[in-house]
């Protein structure tokens, strides 16, 4: 019998359609399905999300956990990884369509020598509002879809490219830890106690985890081959409020990061008023970007 290697943790809250598309994409992974498990944590959805997803568990091959209504992505992720059986934990947002090689690539990164303290930051392409999603008939369809549409590059790309060539190719910064597509060994997240449950909503709780991982000498690796495609959705005023509140909490918890709070809040205020569609890249640029 093959040994389970990875656990994929997906928090969700009132995002039924997006979650189903993400789960469908995980059924077309190149990695043997026996080597990974998928755990969905429903964080108090007010609609029928939990009951509908529960009916799909056998068909789509995942476990689902009903979490009490915390309204906290941090809490939901903690519930998931603590119930997991894999030695490697992959955190994937419920609105991330997984490239067919995403899980295989995460496992490959952690199979390299001296990778016990590595935190892999998977790559995230962003779709635009007008995109039509694949029907998930087969693996090739998802790949063809990804190369037939216009996409936004990972928002961390500008920072990575501003660094030295060695830095750009291999390593990242703790402030780039966005939990939409990351992986690390379960023993490593256990060492820092997981996400901080005191962070409500979503946004910022992942960066705060990154800082604590940095303090125990973790390595942050740019996982350019572990690709996810973010399903477009507008960011609500409530989401922005949660983001700003959590960044404030980081500075309170870690006073030495007051400079980081000011930098991020300034950038987010600009992002809140930016026309991202003007930044889309052509399909032919995608392969070059990932070289």
Using the 8-state DSSP alphabet, how is residue 218 labeled? -
Question: Contact at 8 Å (CB) between 18 and 52?
Answer: no
Q: What is the pLDDT of residue 258?
A: 81
Nearest to 110 by CA among 118, 98, 122, 101: 118
> Model confidence at 291, in pLDDT bands (50, 70, 90)?
very low
pLDDT, averaged across the chain:
85
| Higher-scoring residue by pLDDT: 130, 286 | 130
Nearest to 31 by CA among 168, 169, 183: 183
Distance from chain centroid for Cα 262: 24
Helix residue ranges, H only, the chain = 16-26, 49-55, 57-60, 73-82, 102-110, 139-146, 157-161, 165-170, 186-192, 205-215, 237-253, 258-271, 283-289
The CATH number linked to 29 is: 3.90.550.10
210 inside domain: yes
1 inside domain: no
28 inside domain: yes
Number of domains observed in the structure of the chain: 1
Label residues 65-75 b or e (16+ Cβ within 10 Å = b): bbbeebebbbb
Using the 8-state DSSP alphabet, how is residue 168 labeled? H
191 inside domain: yes
* pLDDT higher than threshold 90 for residue 284: no
Distance from chain centroid for Cα 218: 18
Residue 224, CB-side half-sphere exposure with 13 Å CA sphere: 16
26 inside domain: yes
Q: What is the pLDDT of residue 268?
A: 53
Count CB-CB contacts under 10 A for residue 216. Answer: 10
- Domain coverage including residue 48: 6-289
Distance from chain centroid for Cα 143: 19
Task: Return the axis-axis angle of helices 258-271 and 237-253, rounded to nearest 10°.
Answer: 170
Which tens digit of pLDDT belongs to each residue from 172-224? 788 889 999 999 999 999 999 999 999 988 788 999 999 999 999 999 999 99
247 inside domain: yes
- CA atoms of 32 and 10, how far apart (whole Å): 19
Nearest to 101 by CA among 50, 26, 162, 155: 26
Distances (CA, A) of 233 to 32, 154, 285: 31, 16, 23
- CA atoms of 34 and 186, how far apart (whole Å): 18
Which tens digit of pLDDT belongs to each residue from 69-128? 667 899 999 999 999 999 999 999 999 999 999 999 999 999 999 999 999 999 999 988
Three-class DSSP category at 152: strand
* pLDDT higher than threshold 50 for residue 289: no
DSSP characters for 75-140? HHHHHHHHT---SEEEEE-TTEEEPTTHHHHHHHHHTSTT-TTEEEEEEEEEE-TT-------SHH
Token readout for 21 is 């598309």
123 inside domain: yes
264 inside domain: yes
- CA atoms of 193 and 205, how far apart (whole Å): 13
Give the predicted TM-score (pTM) of the model.
0.88
Which tens digit of pLDDT belongs to each residue from 25-49? 999 999 999 999 999 999 988 778 8
């Amino acid at each position: 019998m093959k040994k389970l290697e990875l656990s994929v943790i997906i928090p969700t809250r009132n995002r039924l359609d997006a979650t189903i598309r993400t789960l469908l994409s995980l059924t077309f992974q190149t990695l043997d399905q026996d080597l990974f498990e998928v755990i969905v944590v429903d964080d108090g959805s007010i609609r029928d999300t939990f009951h509908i997803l529960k009916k799909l568990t056998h068909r789509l091959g995942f476990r689902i956990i009903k979490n009490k209504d915390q309204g906290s992505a941090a809490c939901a992720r903690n519930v998931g990884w603590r119930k997991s059986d894999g030695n490697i934990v992959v955190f994937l947002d419920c609105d991330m369509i997984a490239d067919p090689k995403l899980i295989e690539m995460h496992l490959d990164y952690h199979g390299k020598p001296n990778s016990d303290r590595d935190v892999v930051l998977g790559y995230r392409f962003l779709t635009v509002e007008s995109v039509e999603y694949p029907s998930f008939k087969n693996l090739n369809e998802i790949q063809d879809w990804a190369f037939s549409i216009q996409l936004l590059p990972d928002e961390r790309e500008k920072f990575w490219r501003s660094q030295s060539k060695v830095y750009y190719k291999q390593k990242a910064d703790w402030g780039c830890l966005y939990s939409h597509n990351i992986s690390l060994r379960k023993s490593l997240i256990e060492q820092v106690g997981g996400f901080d449950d005191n962070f409500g909503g979503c946004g910022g709780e992942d960066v705060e985890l990154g800082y604590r991982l940095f303090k125990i000498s973790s390595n942050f690796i740019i996982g350019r081959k572990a690709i996810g495609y973010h399903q477009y959705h507008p960011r609500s005023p409530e989401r922005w409020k949660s983001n700003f509140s959590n960044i404030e909490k980081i500075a309170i918890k870690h006073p030495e990061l007051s400079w980081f709070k000011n930098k991020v809040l300034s950038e987010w205020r600009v992002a809140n008023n930016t026309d991202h569609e003007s930044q889309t890249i052509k399909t032919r640029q995608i392969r070059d970007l990932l070289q």
